[in-house]
C-alpha cells in the first residue's frame, strides 16, 4: 500500500493506493473522516497523527501490506513502546467486550493525548499534562465537551490498566455536564427531507431512521434477517450498551422495504455500499442527508440524530406513554427519555401568556 500526500478540497490528505480488496475497504471505513473518491479512484484520510496511527493499527499484521509513510514535518508518530501500549489497550478493551465504536473513539483519544505531550512519553505523563491538553489543545480548537469527556475516559482506562506513571486517574475530572435540549423538526420538515431523495435506497435509509428512531450505527448494522415482516418488527441487535431491542414497522414501511430489496438485492447487510457485501459507510449516509436538506430547502444544521429526536418527540405529542418511548429508543434510564418532555409543544401551546390580556 502506498500513501501519498495530496490536497483535496483545500485540505491536506493521505491518498492510499492498493489493488481492490473488500477487507481493506472495511478497515478504512473505520478510520475517522475516511473517504472513497470516485474521481481519484482511491481512498483518502486526513493528514494527521491520529489517522496515520489508525491506519497502521488497522493493517498491522496483514501479510503483504507495507505502508509507505508520506513526507510531512508535522506528522508526529508515537514511539514503539507507546504503540505497543496502545495495542495492549486495544486488546484489553476487546477482551472486556467494549463496542467497536467505543474502542475506536478511545484509541483515537489516547493517541491525540500522547502526541500532544511529546517529547514526554506515556510513562512520564502527569495530571498537569491533562490540564495543558485542555487549555492548549481542546479549547483553542473549540472541541466539544463530549470529546473532552471521551479523552478523559480513555486516559482513565489507559493509565489505570496499561501504563504505570505519575498520572493519578482518580484525580482526572470530567468537564461540567451540558444541559442542551434535543433538536426537533416539524412533521412538515421531516416529510420534505424524506421526499427529497430520488434514489430509493437513500429514501429508505432516512425513512427507517425516522420511522424507527434509529441511531446512525444501528441503521448501518442492520442485516436482512433483522427485518421480520410477518411480525411487523425490526430487531436492533447489540446497540449502545450491548442491548438488543425491537421496534414496530408499519405496513407502509414493509412495502417500501420490499420495493428496495427487489431493486438492490443486498446480500448480507440491509444497506450495502459500493462494493458487494460491504456495509454502507457513515460518510456516505451523512452525504445522503446533506443532499436531501439541499433539495428540501432546509437551512438548519440538521444531523441524522435530529431524525431520532423528532421521532421521539412526535410520539410523545401523539400521546405515547414515556415508558414505551424509552423502550423504543433503547434508553437505559427514563431520565434520558424525559428530556423530550421539554421540547414537546403539545402542552406548551395550551398555555396562555399574560401578555395577551393586556
Would strands 11-17 and 2-8 be described as parallel, antiparallel, or unpaired?
antiparallel
Q: Which three cell numbers stand for residue 348?
A: 406548551
Determine the Cα–Cα distance for residues 153 and 215; give it in Å rounded to an integer. Answer: 22
* Listed residue (149, 171, 150, 176) closest to 160, CA to CA: 171
Q: Please say if 44 is a catalytic residue.
A: no
Q: Which of 90, 27, 57, 30 is nearest to 217 (CA)?
A: 30
The question of whether 331 is a catalytic residue gets the answer yes
| Count of Cβ atoms closer than 10 Å to residue 354 Cβ | 6
Q: How many CB atoms lie within 10 A of CB 277?
A: 12
Among 245, 241, 243, residue whose Cα is nearest residue 213: 245
Active-site annotation holder among 240, 245, 264, 295: 240
Q: How many CB atoms lie within 10 A of CB 107?
A: 21
- The one catalytic residue in 215, 216, 309, 314 is 215
Q: How far is CA 49 from CA 70, 76, 93, 114, 146, in A?
A: 12, 6, 22, 10, 21
* Catalytic status, residue 309: no
340 classed as catalytic: yes
Catalytic residue (one of 35, 44, 202, 308): 308
| Dihedral, 217, 326, 144, 125 alpha carbons, nearest 10 | -80
Quick one: cell of 307?
A: 431524525
Residues 6+ apart with CB under 8 A from 247: 212, 213, 214, 233, 234, 236, 328
Q: Which residues are catalytic?
A: 215, 240, 305, 308, 331, 340
Amino acid at each position: 500500500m502506498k500513501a501519498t500526500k495530496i490536497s483535496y478540497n483545500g485540505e491536506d490528505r493521505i491518498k492510499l493506493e492498493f489493488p481492490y480488496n473488500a477487507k481493506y475497504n472495511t478497515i478504512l471505513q473505520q478510520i475517522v473522516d475516511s473517504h472513497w473518491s470516485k474521481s481519484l479512484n482511491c481512498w483518502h484520510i486526513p493528514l494527521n497523527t491520529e489517522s496515520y496511527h489508525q491506519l497502521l493499527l488497522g493493517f498491522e499484521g496483514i501479510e503483504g501490506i507495507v505502508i509507505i509513510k508520506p513526507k510531512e514535518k508535522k506528522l508526529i508518530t508515537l514511539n514503539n513502546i507507546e504503540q505497543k501500549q496502545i495495542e495492549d489497550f486495544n486488546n484489553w478493551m476487546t477482551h472486556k467486550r467494549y463496542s467497536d465504536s467505543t474502542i475506536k473513539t478511545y484509541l483515537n483519544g489516547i493517541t491525540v493525548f500522547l502526541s500532544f505531550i511529546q517529547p514526554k512519553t506515556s510513562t512520564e505523563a502527569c495530571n498537569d499534562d491533562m490540564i495543558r491538553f485542555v487549555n492548549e489543545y481542546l479549547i483553542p480548537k473549540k472541541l466539544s465537551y463530549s470529546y473532552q469527556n471521551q479523552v478523559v475516559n480513555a486516559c482513565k482506562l489507559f493509565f489505570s490498566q496499561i501504563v504505570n506513571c505519575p498520572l493519578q486517574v482518580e484525580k482526572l475530572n470530567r468537564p461540567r455536564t451540558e444541559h442542551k435540549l434535543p433538536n426537533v423538526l416539524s412533521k412538515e420538515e421531516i416529510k420534505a427531507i424524506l421526499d427529497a431523495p430520488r434514489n430509493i435506497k437513500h429514501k429508505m435509509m432516512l425513512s427507517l431512521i425516522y420511522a424507527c428512531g434509529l441511531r446512525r450505527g444501528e441503521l448501518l448494522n442492520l442485516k436482512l434477517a433483522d427485518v421480520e415482516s410477518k411480525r411487523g418488527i425490526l430487531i436492533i441487535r447489540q446497540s449502545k450498551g450491548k442491548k438488543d431491542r425491537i421496534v414496530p414497522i408499519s405496513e407502509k414501511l414493509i412495502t417500501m422495504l420490499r420495493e428496495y430489496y427487489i431493486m438492490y438485492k443486498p446480500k448480507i447487510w440491509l444497506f450495502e455500499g459500493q462494493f458487494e457485501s460491504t456495509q454502507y459507510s457513515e460518510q456516505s449516509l451523512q452525504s445522503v442527508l446533506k443532499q436531501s436538506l439541499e433539495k428540501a430547502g432546509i437551512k438548519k444544521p440538521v444531523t441524522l440524530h435530529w431524525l431520532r429526536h423528532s421521532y421521539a418527540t412526535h410520539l410523545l405529542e401523539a400521546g405515547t406513554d414515556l415508558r414505551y418511548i424509552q423502550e423504543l429508543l433503547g434508553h437505559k434510564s427514563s431520565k434520558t427519555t424525559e428530556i423530550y418532555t421539554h421540547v414537546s409543544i403539545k402542552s406548551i401551546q395550551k398555555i396562555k401568556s399574560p401578555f395577551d390580556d393586556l
